[in-house]
Amino acid sequence: MGRRHECSDSVAYRVALWNSASLCVLPRFSFACLRERLLLPYARFPEFVRSLLGAVMTEHYDVVVIGGGMVGAALGCSLGDSGLRVAIVEDSPPPPFAADQPHDLRVSAISIASASIIKTIGAWGGLISRRCCPFRRMRVWEDRGDVEFRSEDINEPLLGYIVENRVIQLALLDRLEQFSNVDVFCPVKTKSIDYRADGSTVELEDGRRIEGRLLVAADGGFSRVRQAAGMGVSAWDYRQHALVLTVETGYVQQDITWQRFLPTGPQAFLPLDGPNASLVWYHSPDEVRRLKELPDEELLPEVAAAFPRELGDVTRIVSKGSFPLKRQHALNYTKEGVALIGDAAHMIHPLAGQGVNIGLLDAAALAQVLVSAHREGKDIGAARTLQDFERMRRRNNLLMMTTMDLFYRVFGNVHLPVKLFRNIGLGLAERIAPAKKLAMKYAMGLSGELPRLARGEAILG
Ligand SMILES: Cc1cc2nc3c(=O)[nH]c(=O)nc-3n(C[C@H](O)[C@H](O)[C@H](O)COP(=O)(O)OP(=O)(O)OC[C@H]3O[C@@H](n4cnc5c(N)ncnc54)[C@H](O)[C@@H]3O)c2cc1C
């Protein structure tokens, strides 16, 4: 079974797990006894002795993934039972799930391609047994143009699922524990990341060290791995923030997600299980700050006044938060010994909910390239091997990012010709069946070159 290197409760337990060889020769201690013999002396060691211990306790892996968020954990699962030794380091795992806990503020619209990946790597049961909300319809409109996408238009039972980020991550982290070739270091902070083309070293704050032939950045938009590897980005600020509200509505569970475009920014509705929903209100940073600071009893009428009647009654605001919006794209996803995936490689405007979807495709594509290279006896960290992954993903991601930028600019534009153009565009999308189908397939992640896992196939044939 996969080892989970817990770091919170007992250093003794950690050290014992870490050095299983020494555990074999130790007499049978109780945890308390282990704590007494190992934890207390360890805690009193001066820094240089800790470093010495760290050097002795260096563990070697083929792949070291920094970040066990949705994308990093999905990569770990995709590499499960691959024959490669994999380490995942995560510093802030979500709290355990309880059916009566409030919904996570962060939710994602998961495409059919993402659902296929999660199913094929065996984590779907952990997701569905917690909670999620399937949706069958998707509507986009502004004052004149209006288009509704329905799953039956393309003979599919569903268009996707709205899932709390925490639920996706927990389902993947649970699955990771079932692989004997994957070790999860969690929760633990990374002290230093020393990137080297021929194999990188990561020092953890508890003194342990791990080395890997390939270092993978799955550590989000502000990736330390990307910085350590000296990989640049192109970036700009959208000068727009997203106010995210988890609310209780007057409706029963809904099967539609909708987005209304306004010159100030879109407003989005994402259904959650039961009468719950997630609202996203894009606006200027100042306005989002003002709204967020309002007490709930003042914010409720503002939501009622600003959102369309389709929202119905909002009976309670459960939680709220805001996010600055930034576009960022790494100039390269790979170089010798390192690869970037997920938000570490790209941050995209969330208006069409594609960030984690393209991140999961990255994870599936990278795993496919690594497993294939490993089977053929090739060096998994070689720049030439990694370029196959970059070729599969960078162009597709750039296309998705550019499409989102186009939406953002066209729908934020108040000039009459642009307004006419987009109203006509929405009208045509509603009426021309092939165009509508094409747009739906794109949003569901079913177009372009897909990694095998996204097609529901085993990682290699
Ligand atoms: C308002 C909003 C709405 C969105 N809605 C959608 C949507 O509907 N659909 C969609 O597809 N996307 C959506 N996104 C985008 C999506 O949330 C991101 O693309 C996604 O979270 C990226 O996942 P990730 O695993 O790459 O990075 P992250 O989610 O940032 O995860 C990185 C992980 O790495 C860990 N970490 C970081 N540094 C270290 C370190 N040094 N050591 C150890 N661990 C570390 C963190 O704790 C974290 O768990 C939305 C984004 C926003 C802002």
265: number of Cβ within 10 Å: 24
pLDDT at residue number 35: 43
Atom 50 in ligand 1: residue holding the nearest Cα: 350
pLDDT tens-digit map of 188-217: 999 999 999 999 999 999 999 999 999 999
Residues with CB under 6 A from ligand 1: 66-72, 89-92, 108-109, 190, 218-220, 224, 242, 244, 280, 323, 342-343, 350, 353-357, 359
Provide the pLDDT confidence category of residue 9 given band limits of 50, 70 and 90. Answer: very low
Q: Answer yes or no: pTM beyond 0.75.
A: yes
Read off the tokens for 325: 């919006």
- State the Cα–Cα distance between residues 168 and 70, nearest whole angstrom: 6
CA–centroid distance, residue 349 to ligand 1 (Å): 13
Bigger pLDDT: 300 vs 7: 300
Q: Does residue 62 contact residue 212 with C-beta atoms inside 8 Å?
A: yes
Instruction: Report the chain's terminal Cα–Cα distance, integer Å.
Output: 25
CA–centroid distance, residue 70 to ligand 1 (Å): 7
Tell me which fold the domain 3-93+170-233+330-401 belongs to: FAD/NAD(P)-binding domain (3.50.50)
40 pLDDT above the threshold of 70: no
327 pLDDT above the threshold of 60: yes
pLDDT at residue number 16: 28
Provide the pLDDT confidence category of residue 45 given band limits of 50, 70 and 90. Answer: low
Closest ligand 1 atom to 356 CA: 11
Q: Does residue 325 contact residue 308 with C-beta atoms inside 8 Å?
A: no
Closest ligand 1 atom to 325 CA: 53
Provide the pLDDT confidence category of residue 420 given band limits of 50, 70 and 90. Answer: low
23 pLDDT above the threshold of 50: no
pLDDT tens-digit map of 228-256: 999 999 999 988 999 999 999 999 999 99
Tell me which fold the domain 107-112+130-165+238-328+415-443 belongs to: D-Amino Acid Oxidase; Chain A, domain 2 (3.30.9)
Domain with CATH 3.30.9.10 in the chain: 107-112+130-165+238-328+415-443
> What share of the chain in percent tops pLDDT 90?
71
Task: Look at phi and psi of residue 283 and say left if phi exceeds 0, alpha if psi is from -120 to 50, else beta.
Answer: beta
Provide the pLDDT confidence category of residue 32 given band limits of 50, 70 and 90. Answer: very low
Atom 19 in ligand 1: residue holding the nearest Cα: 355
Domain with CATH 3.50.50.60 in the chain: 3-93+170-233+330-401
Rg of the chain taking only CA atoms, in angstroms: 24
- State the Cα–Cα distance between residues 20 and 24, nearest whole angstrom: 6
316 pLDDT above the threshold of 70: yes
pLDDT at residue number 157: 94
Least confident span in 210-214, 292-296, 420-424: 420-424
147 pLDDT above the threshold of 50: yes
18 pLDDT above the threshold of 50: no
CA–centroid distance, residue 355 to ligand 1 (Å): 8
- State the Cα–Cα distance between residues 430 and 443, nearest whole angstrom: 15
* Chain centre to alpha carbon of residue 67: 10
Residue-averaged pLDDT of the chain: 87
pLDDT at residue number 47: 67
Q: Which of 316, 307, 322, 236 is nearest to 276 (CA)?
A: 316
pLDDT tens-digit map of 398-414: 998 988 888 777 666 55
CA–centroid distance, residue 412 to ligand 1 (Å): 25
Mutate to test the pocket of ligand 1, among 5, 77, 91 (most ligand atoms within 8 A of CB): 91
Q: Does residue 245 contact residue 303 with C-beta atoms inside 8 Å?
A: yes
269 pLDDT above the threshold of 90: yes
Q: Which of 341, 334, 451, 344 is nearest to 384 (CA)?
A: 334
pLDDT tens-digit map of 79-123: 999 999 999 999 999 999 999 999 999 999 999 999 999 999 999
pLDDT at residue number 430: 66
Closest ligand 1 atom to 111 CA: 11
The total number of residues written for the chain in this structure: 461
Q: Is the Cα dihedral 412, 414, 417, 421 positive or negative?
A: positive
Residue 319 is which amino acid? S
CA–centroid distance, residue 27 to ligand 1 (Å): 44
Atom 15 in ligand 1: residue holding the nearest Cα: 355
Bigger pLDDT: 52 vs 398: 398
Provide the pLDDT confidence category of residue 15 given band limits of 50, 70 and 90. Answer: very low
28 pLDDT above the threshold of 50: no
Bigger pLDDT: 438 vs 320: 320
pLDDT tens-digit map of 364-407: 999 999 999 999 999 999 999 999 999 999 999 999 898 888 87
